[in-house]
Each structure stands twice: as C-alpha cells, then as structure tokens.
Amino acid sequence: QVQLVESGGGLVQAGVSLRLSCVASGHTFSNYAMGWFRQGPGKERVFVAGWNGGSTSYADSVKGRFTISRDNAKNTVYLQMNSLKPEDTAVYYCAARSIGSRDIGTTTTWFRYWGQGTQVTVSS
C-alpha cells in the first residue's frame, strides 16, 4: 500500500519562502512519478509541479518561484516555494503514480495515490 505524508505547511507572510515535504512509503520510490497539487478555498484541485525521471513540469502560476525536487534515498519529494503570494493559499497535496515513461501528468486523474494534504496560508 502506497502512503504519502505531507508536512511543512503553515501561516506565513507574503514574500517569504516555505518548503513542503512528502515522505513516501510502500513502493519503490524511484519508479514513481511525483507531483504536487493545490486546492484553494472553493476551488478545484490543480496541478502545481511534477517530477519524473529527472524531468520537471510546473504550472505557469508558479514558474520561477517554486521548485520540485526529490531525494530517493529518503523517499521524499520537496516543493520549495519562494516569493509566496496570498493567492498561493491552499491545501497542498502530494501525488504519485507508477510509470514506465518520462511522462508527467497534470490532472488529478493521472495520479493514483494521494496524501492528506498540508495547509499553506499566505497573508498579505
């Protein structure tokens, strides 16, 4: 059973940085594509960033500010968030999918496994 546990969220002021972590268990971490999604109040869950086989993908709204990375030895994927804005306020979810290619999906249906989420609130 694949399990994903996010951490690192919190209440911060606009302009600061925050790093989210997602620890994975129950699978061979290196064989999985990983992603971060977020869901703001009253909004649908949307793609933020993805990583697969060294390739990365980002939503336009976070390009240049957010960076996804992973440490296979620690079974952990990170989301470094810089220059945070109030519109980044959301619950952030980690997602995973076993994949045999370098594709990075950007939809919720492409990823199979999900964490419980961690709240990020950015005040102005």
What rounded mean pLDDT belongs to the chain?
A: 95
Distance from C-alpha of 25 to C-alpha of 106, rounded to nearest angstrom: 22
Kindly tell me if the per-residue pLDDT of 29 is higher than 80: no
Per-residue pLDDT band for 27 (boundaries 50, 70, 90) equals confident
Kindly tell me if the per-residue pLDDT of 82 is higher than 80: yes
Kindly tell me if the per-residue pLDDT of 112 is higher than 80: yes
Beta-bridge partner residues of 99? none
Q: What is the pLDDT of residues 34-79, one digit of tens each?
A: 999 999 999 999 999 999 988 999 999 999 999 999 998 999 999 9
Distance from C-alpha of 14 to C-alpha of 36, rounded to nearest angstrom: 20
78 by Cβ neighbours in 10 Å (0-12 / 13-18 / 19+) ranks as buried
